[in-house]
Amino acid sequence: MATTANEARGAALDTGHRRVILASSLGTVFEWYDFYLYGSLAALIGKHFFSGLNETSQFIFALLAFAAGFAVRPFGAIVFGRLGDLIGRKYTFLITIIIMGLSTFLVGVLPSYGQIGIVAPTLLIILRLLQGLALGGEYGGAATYVAEHAPDGKRGLYTSFIQITATFGLFLSLLVILGTRLGLGTETFEAWGWRVPFLISAVLVAVSVYIRMQLQESPVFQQMKAEGKHSKAPLTEAFGQWSNLKLVILALLGATAGQAVVWYTGQFYSLYFLTQSLKIDGTTANLLIAAALLIGTPFFVFFGWLSDRIGRKSIVLAGCLIAALTFFPIFKGLTHFGNPDIEAAAASSPVVVVADPGRCSFQFDPVGKAKFTSSCDVAKSALAKKGVPYRNEAAVGGALAQVKIGDKVIDSFEGGSLDSASFAAQSKDFGAKLGAAIKEAGYPEKADPAKANYPMLIVLLAILVIYVTMVYGPIAAWLVEMFPTRIRYTSMSLPYHIGNGWFGGFVPTIGFMLVAWKGDIYYGLWYPIIVAIVTFFIGLLFLKETKDVDIRK
């Protein structure tokens, strides 16, 4: 028999309610597992599906394909949010998990660029878009469903278990990737073994569908529908009336945008920073992130519980502010303890590109057709391939670019008038000179495991995860409590998924594009810092505390 809304008002959840919430949370874990596989394997996917591009564009375009899934999440929020407010939370759950699981499985069997050419990345992006649409409908339903089962005074605690699912999904994906890599060996894993974690999703989606079939509809939604009070036009009510639309905009700018950039910096950008900027091998980096997640994950529940006592707003905004103020020292600490050779070399023999700014391009080539042949572009491209941080210095207009490494100066060359063979020969010669000077200055090709301080790396990464738990643990309860029951699924889903899909999902892509532009490995942090600070002030000035509101209205 369905539980009524009045019974849900009790002091505690009974065993049946707890089982329902657990089932909902486990299904969400599997959905996040599917979604995170791509993020964790972005570098490998770039090699298999974007192999027609140059090396720098390969990785950035793989990140763009990853971000494409986030870009469509708001549209999924609109489509499935409307369904959830019209027909109920349970059946919407089933639709999203099936779409998500099938899309992920198909990535595992998709032919590579070498097999079917441009069709491969096209199909990959289509599957990523389907994943994003499904995930766009998932979170709002899960958060609404759990909150509408929770007793008064415990919504922060109970919805925090939904927040854990995202981290558990990432953790599960990392474990499967590591297990497959270690079982097959690195060479086999990079050749075809990376597909195995995607194929395993077929089992997970079957389990998830079974779990979702056991769920009962939200008691609050059931009573509202029985009384004829449910919305017949949720999109119009949610976004066509300024009183609610204004709150949607404020929820985005004053809550979810900052929450999202802190979350993706702590759990995704940090992983890419370890592997791409610090050149720590992928297995070690994944293990470090996994250890940090184990330490930090219980804080989701702690901050959810704490938000029931002191409020959601203060915890989320404090997390945004503290993260913005400490990202730079933490990431510099990751360099110090993860690859001290880079830090030492940058201090003793800093690399400077001296060039006419007007002759320097933004070297992102999504179609692999552009030619970056100016002396500035040649110098920066060579440094980017070697992963060497540098700073820029303006030269006299038209002057030949130079690379200064400590007290050594290496002249670049203009390649615009050269044929392909001559350009390749000069590039090889310039690269050899540059490589010798960089090696002599102490810049490493890879991080030296013997010099790394892994305990301190885990501590710093765990701090980043704790920031994530501060902003993410209470956010579901805060959003649920902002909006009325009849349009809750629709209203809260859109700001959440614009914040996390657009502001957060593009953190790795924008961050590394900024790094590639400036040469400073920390420059990409400015994006999440600025967004987090803006969210802090908007949320502080315009959003209210909601922990004591009645969500049955």
Tokens 């914040």 belong to 499
Residue 105 pLDDT exceeds 50: yes
**Lowest model confidence (mean pLDDT) among 64-78, 177-191, 429-443:** 64-78
- Look at 65 and 16; give whichever has higher pLDDT: 65
**Quick one: pLDDT at residue 32?**
73
Per-residue pLDDT for 313 more than 80?
yes
Domain boundaries, the chain: 14-339+449-542, 343-440
Instruction: Quickly list DSSP for 399-463.
Output: PPPEEEETTEEEE----TTS-HHHHHHHHHHHHHHHHHHHHHTT--SS--GGG--HHHHHHHHHH
Q: Report the b/e string of 461-474 with b at 16+ CB within 10 A.
A: bbbbbbbbbbbbbb
Q: What does the DSSP 8-state code read for residue 78?
A: H
The SS3 call for residue 351 is: strand
Question: Which residue bears the tokens 């986030």?
Answer: 70
Residue 338 pLDDT = 96
- H or E, element range at 210: helix 196-213
The class (CATH top level) of 343-440 is: alpha beta
**What are the structure tokens assigned to 518, written together?**
């400036």
**pLDDT for the residue 2:** 40
* Residue 548 CB burial class (10 angstroms; 0-12, 13-18, ≥19): exposed
Count other Cβ atoms within 10 Å, centred on residue 192: 11
Q: How far apart are CA 553 and CA 547, in angstroms?
A: 14
How far does Cα 239 stand from its chain's mean position? 27
Question: What pLDDT does 248 receive?
Answer: 92
Would 14-339+449-542 and 343-440 be classified into the same CATH topology? no
380 has pLDDT over 90: no
Most confident segment among 125-139, 308-322, 501-515: 308-322
DSSP string, 507-539: HHHHHHHHHHHH--TTGGGHHHHHHHHHHHHHH
Give yes or no for residue 208 having a pLDDT over 60: yes
- Return the pLDDT at 321: 98
Of 472 and 290, the structure prediction assigns the larger pLDDT to 472
Asked whether 277 and 515 are in contact (CB, 8 A), the reply is yes
Split at pLDDT 50, 70, 90, the class of 437 is: very high
pTM of the predicted model, to two decimals?
0.82
Beta strand 351-355 with 391-394: parallel, antiparallel or unpaired?
Answer: parallel
Q: What are phi and psi of 343, to 5 degrees?
A: -60, -45
Q: How many residues are present in the chain?
A: 553
Residue 409 is predicted with a pLDDT of 93
Average pLDDT over residues 349-371: 76
User: What is the band of 163 on the pLDDT scale with cuts at 50, 70, 90?
Assistant: confident
Tell me if the domain spanning 14-339+449-542 has CATH number 1.20.1250.20.
yes
